[in-house]
Structure 1
Amino acid sequence: MSEAWQSVKAYALKADDGTLMRHAFQILLAAALVFVVIDFREINAAKALAPFDPQAPGAAPILPPALTEGEPEAPPSEITTEAEQLKNAIRFELQPGGILRAQGAIDPGAAERFRTEIEARGEYVKTVLLDSPGGSVGDALAMSKLIRERQLDTKVEKGALCASSCPIVFAGGVERTAEKGAVIGVHQIFNGSTTRLSPEQAMSDAQRTTAEITRHLEEMGIKPALWRRAMETPPDRLFYLSAREMEADALTTPPPPKPVAASRGKTASPQ
């Protein structure tokens, strides 16, 4: 036998059962961590080979089950937009009254196309109408910042969807309106990068992105409770926001005050 084996054997004979069990557990734990890292790298590698394709067979459903009080529930209202329209990469359509409809999944590069669209329309666009299942967090954040920079309003109509990263875009509006019957949901962000990342880099990126989103929402006047709801909901679930919750979290803004009609045929009496 080798000297190393003789040393291990001698140690084993001297050590008590508790010590041996403790060391065996430490070895098993170390092995488990190695396999977790290997699995994580393989998953990341698989993602790197799969570019963004919202219409790919077997892709996650466009509308995951809701998570409310820990139990999956159906959407609070009917979504009238066809699923195929939501799965397509986001597209922009100019409508009368200074409205720009943004419909579809927020794919990588969406923010740049959005900026080009806004710059081409000059001062005509006043409101961005959202109907999207979300997508690229970085692009959603850039779109939201541009909306606030241009002092635009945001709106989600009845029967439309604004989920995942879409509420980040919605938060950029100066005035933010969700019609009765609009479906708005949030959940945890997750790494959709198509590059190979180490576990440490993936964690670092997630923390940096979370900090950036938190800071942006604060600047937009959104209360921290909204982001807590998102962080408490797994990425394969949605927390559907009620009108009361959106108002309480300041995701929606109060309607502008109606102008007071001047009284007719009456004059103030002198004091």
Structure 2
Amino acid sequence: MRPVGAFKAMISMDDGVLMRGAFYVLLAAAATFIVIDMREINKAEAARPGFETVPDVPTFFPPTTAPGVPGAPPVQPSSPEEVLRKPMTFNLVSGGVLYAKGIIDPGAADRFAGEIDARGEYIKSVSLDSPGGSVDDAIAMSKLIREKAIATKVGEKALCASSCPIVFAGGVTRAAEKNAVVGVHQVFNASIESPSPDQAMASAQAITARVARHLDEMGIGAGLWIHALETPPSQLYYLTPAEMLKYRLTTNATEDVGTGAG
């Protein structure tokens, strides 16, 4: 007869195996739905006024429904879509604030690094207004921000969605002003044309692991990534100021993040 302690250890081990197995099943299902959702997103985005094609850049713009409707943002972002649809631009203003606005297109990280090399000593914070984009570029920008000990913020009614919160997480201090629109969802690789289910699953697993590891290195709570995994790429999970503080996405108290929905 096995000792009681050994039996409990076996139960604990079985629970761990079951939990890991359930996670991979959910991830595989998410990868399949990502492929379907991306086709629907492309159709919907192409039908929106002012649509511009930026290749291989997954982004998401909040629906233009009134606040309070299920799935709608807490407020409408102030920047026009036609501005946010353009590749990311950088503008350094007084006070050492570098405004980063637009899609995180492939190459945005290189342009950002060029700004840091040219004027890094003057840059104290990066203010984000972006619907997201390239995950690789977002991670590279985030790492450079942390390396250079720069702060990040999302201004009032500015948008920081999809992969943009990855950049936001790099700040040594991080603030979201009142009515900042910060949203997360599943990340995906748009560079694979017509991926098979196996390709989609492998891509989703690899990207999920990279982002989760990076957020952990930045000191962000795991609960944030759970919300992202639970939200299809055709939607956004909008974070409240309380949630941003809880998951350590913001580091400042209520005077910076406001008290309403974020």
Same fold, TM exceeding 0.5?
yes
The alignment status of 1:108 with 2:79, answered yes or no, reads no
Which of these residues, 139, 153, 156, is aligned with residue 155 of structure 1? 153
> 1:79-132 deviations in whole A, cap 9, x for unaligned?
111111111111001111111100001111111111111111131101000000
Deviation, structure 1 residue 196: 6.9
C-alpha change, 1:195 and 1:236, in structure 2 (3 Å) is closer
C-alpha change, 1:94 and 1:216, in structure 2 (3 Å) is same
Rounded Cα–Cα distance in structure 2 between residues aligned with 1:149 and 1:61: 28
* Structure number with higher helix proportion: 2
Q: Please give the TM-score of this superposition, normalised by the length of structure 1.
A: 0.69
Rounded Cα–Cα distance in structure 2 between residues aligned with 1:210 and 1:239: 17
Aligned to 1:56: 53
- Map 1:223-238 → 2, pairs under 5 A: 223-238=221-236
Give the root-mean-square deviation of aligned CA atoms: 2.9
The letter of the residue matching 1:238 is L
Rounded Cα–Cα distance in structure 1 between residues aligned with 2:167 and 2:82: 21
Q: Please give the TM-score of this superposition, normalised by the length of structure 2.
A: 0.71
Aligned to 2:239: 241
- Map 1:202-217 → 2, pairs under 5 A: 202-217=200-215
- The answer to whether the Cα contact below 8 Å between 1:176 and 1:252 also exists between their aligned partners in 2 is yes
State the structure with more CA Rg.
1
- The answer to whether the Cα contact below 8 Å between 2:159 and 2:182 also exists between their aligned partners in 1 is yes
Aligned to 2:26: none
- How many equivalent pairs are there? 205
Rounded Cα–Cα distance in structure 2 between residues aligned with 1:158 and 1:75: 13
Deviation, structure 1 residue 212: 1.2
The letter of the residue matching 1:115 is A
- The answer to whether the Cα contact below 8 Å between 2:185 and 2:236 also exists between their aligned partners in 1 is yes
Percent of counterpart pairs with the same letter? Answer: 55
Rounded Cα–Cα distance in structure 2 between residues aligned with 1:90 and 1:62: 15
> 1:132-177 deviations in whole A, cap 9, x for unaligned?
0001111111111111111110000101000000000000000000
Which of these residues, 113, 116, 134, is aligned with residue 118 of structure 1? 116
- The answer to whether the Cα contact below 8 Å between 2:60 and 2:132 also exists between their aligned partners in 1 is no
Rounded Cα–Cα distance in structure 2 between residues aligned with 1:209 and 1:60: 16
Which of these residues, 203, 215, 218, is aligned with residue 216 of structure 2? 218
Which of these residues, 151, 163, 166, is aligned with residue 164 of structure 2? 166
Deviation, structure 1 residue 194: 5.0
Aligned to 2:126: 128
Aligned to 1:19: none
Rounded Cα–Cα distance in structure 2 between residues aligned with 1:185 and 1:92: 22
